[in-house]
């Protein structure tokens, strides 16, 4: 008996969940939810429609239905659906012409334009300076001091390593080599990579972990297995529990708001510190794209090139000389 479309989608998403990261699985789920909603709007519910009757032309119809979304989102959703069709062929659930599917996607989808990363660099610098001084704030209870030291270490680490928020939250104490100033992290696609740490980030981490020594020692677990960044809310109690990316985003939002104000809090996210990191590397290395690509762990150098305009001081200087000094002379 043939599976329903709904059953096939569930099996496809399960295969993604088994092989890919949780973040990737969520992204695929979002795309397939949109595809399911589209199919339900076109005809019988997916629970009642047999997957064996799936046709390639539905891809073109789905692409037309995505025109109100951004080109980047459209491309993402169509890539996920193309993967679904490949899954159907591999599992022999439907007779699909994959070459035609790819052709339809090429003909009907829009290419996303290159978006230059934008972020308020000076506000990030101000936030880092504010965070460094968190260790000096007076506190009434030890838990508040732990939170201040953790948040200082977390923000400085994001700024000086280029770690993504989920990568930082997943770090264990044993991942960090204090002598080599490096850590092994699992990045996108569960790829392992080496990340370098600055001395100031290690100093902040040492202060935080020293203050956490009693808590870690009473956990009954090996220190190497404990999270590098832990929860210190009342719900965690005396247990050493890892932070979630949501907690990481809340830390950034809170500290940016304290440092700059609520308006800035809406413009700066944990990923803004990654933008800051890449730009800082480019400026400090005289525009060395290969170095920035390697340190940021970009698979494609074209991603790194998007940051080059932010660090080209020669262009800034030339513009000022032409439009400011020249205008001043004419006036």
* pLDDT tens-digit readout, 22-59: 888 899 999 999 999 999 988 888 888 899 888 888 99
Neighbours of 189 (CB within 10 A): 10
Q: What's the CA gap between 178 and 220, in Å, rounded?
A: 23
Three-state DSSP class for 176? strand
Ranges 85-94, 175-184, 234-243, 299-308: which has the least confidence: 299-308
Q: What's the CA gap between 40 and 58, in Å, rounded?
A: 12
Structure tokens at 200: 């100031």
* Per-domain residue ranges of the chain: 5-108, 121-310
Pick the CATH number of 5-108 from 1.10.150, 1.10.10, 1.10.3470, 3.40.1400: 1.10.150
Terminal Cα distance for the chain, rounded: 84
- Tell me whether residue 32 is exposed, middle or buried, using C-beta atoms within 10 angstroms of its C-beta: 0 to 12, 13 to 18, 19 or more: buried
* pLDDT tens-digit readout, 268-319: 889 899 888 888 888 888 778 888 888 888 877 777 777 766 555 555 555 5
Q: What's the CA gap between 78 and 85, in Å, rounded?
A: 11
Decide if pLDDT at 148 tops 80. Answer: yes
DSSP-H helix ranges across the chain: 5-19, 22-42, 57-65, 71-90, 98-108, 121-132, 142-161, 165-170, 199-211, 213-217, 245-259, 262-265, 270-284, 289-296, 301-305, 313-320, 326-330
Ranges 137-151, 180-194, 218-232: which has the least confidence: 180-194
Please name which of 127, 83, 116 lies closest in space to residue 257, comparing C-alpha atoms: 127
Q: What is the DSSP secondary structure assignment for residue 55, as one 8-state letter?
A: -
Q: What's the CA gap between 282 and 303, in Å, rounded?
A: 13
Q: What's the CA gap between 17 and 11, in Å, rounded?
A: 10
Going by pLDDT thresholds of 50, 70 and 90, the confidence category of residue 329 is very low
CATH topology of domain 121-310: hpI Integrase; Chain A (1.10.443)
Decide if pLDDT at 331 tops 50. Answer: no
pLDDT reported for residue 290: 85
Residue matched to tokens 């032409």? 322
Three-state DSSP class for 242? strand
* pLDDT tens-digit readout, 186-226: 766 667 888 999 999 999 999 999 999 999 999 989 999 99
Give strand pairing partners of 193.
185
Please name which of 132, 163, 139 lies closest in space to residue 232, comparing C-alpha atoms: 139
R_g over Cα of the chain: 25
Q: What's the CA gap between 231 and 262, in Å, rounded?
A: 24
Neighbours of 207 (CB within 10 A): 15
> For residue 259, how many C-alpha atoms fall within 13 Å in the half-sphere facing its CB?
26
Q: Check if the beta carbon of residue 162 is closer than 8 Å to that of residue 295.
A: yes
* Residue % of the chain over a pLDDT of 90: 46
Q: What's the CA gap between 139 and 35, in Å, rounded?
A: 52
Q: In the sheet that 176-177 helps form, which strands lie side by side, from edge to edge?
A: 176-177, 182-186, 192-196
């Amino acid at each position: 008996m043939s599976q329903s479309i709904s059953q096939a989608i569930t099996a496809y998403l399960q295969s993604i969940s088994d092989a890919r990261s949780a973040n990737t699985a969520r992204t695929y789920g979002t795309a397939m939810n949109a595809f399911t909603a589209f199919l339900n709007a076109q005809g019988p519910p997916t629970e009642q429609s047999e997957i064996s009757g799936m046709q390639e032309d539905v891809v073109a119809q789905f692409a037309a239905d995505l025109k109100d979304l951004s080109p980047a989102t459209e491309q993402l959703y169509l890539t996920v659906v193309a993967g679904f069709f490949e899954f159907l062929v591999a599992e022999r659930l439907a007779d699909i012409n994959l070459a035609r599917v790819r052709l339809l996607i090429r003909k009907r989808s829009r290419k996303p334009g290159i978006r230059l990363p934008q972020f308020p660099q000076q506000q990030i610098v101000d936030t880092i300076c504010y965070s460094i001084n968190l260790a000096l704030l007076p506190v009434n209870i030890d838990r508040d001091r732990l939170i201040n030291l953790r948040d200082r270490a977390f923000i400085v680490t994001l700024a000086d390593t280029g770690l993504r928020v989920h990568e930082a939250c997943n770090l264990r104490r044993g991942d960090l080599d204090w002598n080599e100033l490096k850590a092994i992290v699992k990045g996108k696609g569960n790829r392992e990579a080496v990340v370098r740490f600055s001395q100031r980030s290690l100093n902040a981490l040492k202060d935080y972990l020293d203050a956490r020594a009693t808590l870690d020692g009473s956990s009954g677990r090996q220190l190497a297995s404990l999270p590098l960044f832990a929860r210190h809310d009342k719900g965690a109690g005396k247990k050493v529990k890892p932070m979630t990316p949501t907690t990481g985003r809340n830390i950034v939002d809170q500290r940016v708001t304290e440092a700059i104000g609520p308006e800035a809090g809406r413009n700066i996210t944990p990923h803004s510190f990654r933008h800051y990191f890449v730009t800082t590397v480019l400026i400090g290395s005289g525009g060395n794209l290969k170095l920035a690509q390697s340190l940021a762990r970009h698979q494609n150098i074209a991603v790194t090139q998007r940051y080059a305009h932010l660090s080209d001081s020669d262009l800034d200087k030339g513009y000022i000389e032409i439009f400011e000094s020249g205008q001043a002379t004419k006036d």
